[in-house]
Amino acid sequence: MENSDSARVIIEQGGGIGPLFCAVGDTCPALERVFPEPFDQMDSWVLYHESARGSAKMRAVLDALVAFLKARRPALKGTTAAL
């Protein structure tokens, strides 16, 4: 699959079962989980050029990204469907 949107559409249209990110699959009422709990997790990294180290703008972006992800942690972990 090229991306999770393509996979979701194929699965929704009866193309079989397949893995989706919880934040994608849980928002689709036509889909139901095969396993009650998520079976995989992955780490995320943010990389930026070393010249941006110490930049107030970069710190603001990183702080906003962390706050955004923390606020959505339950949906990203698959413990709630709300995004």
Query: Would the pLDDT of 60 be above 90?
Result: yes
Residue 50: HSE in the Cβ half-sphere, 13 Å Cα cutoff: 0
pLDDT single digits (tens) 19-58:
888 888 888 888 888 877 777 777 888 899 999 999 999 9
pLDDT of residue 1: 55
Q: What is the pLDDT of residue 20?
A: 86
Tell me the C-alpha distance between 36 and 14, whole Å. Answer: 20
Cα 9 from Cα 7, distance rounded (Å): 5
Predicted TM-score (pTM) of this structure? 0.60
Half-sphere exposure of 2 (CA within 13 A, CB side): 4
Give the distance, in angstroms, between the CA of residue 60 and the centroid of all CA atoms in the same chain.
Answer: 22
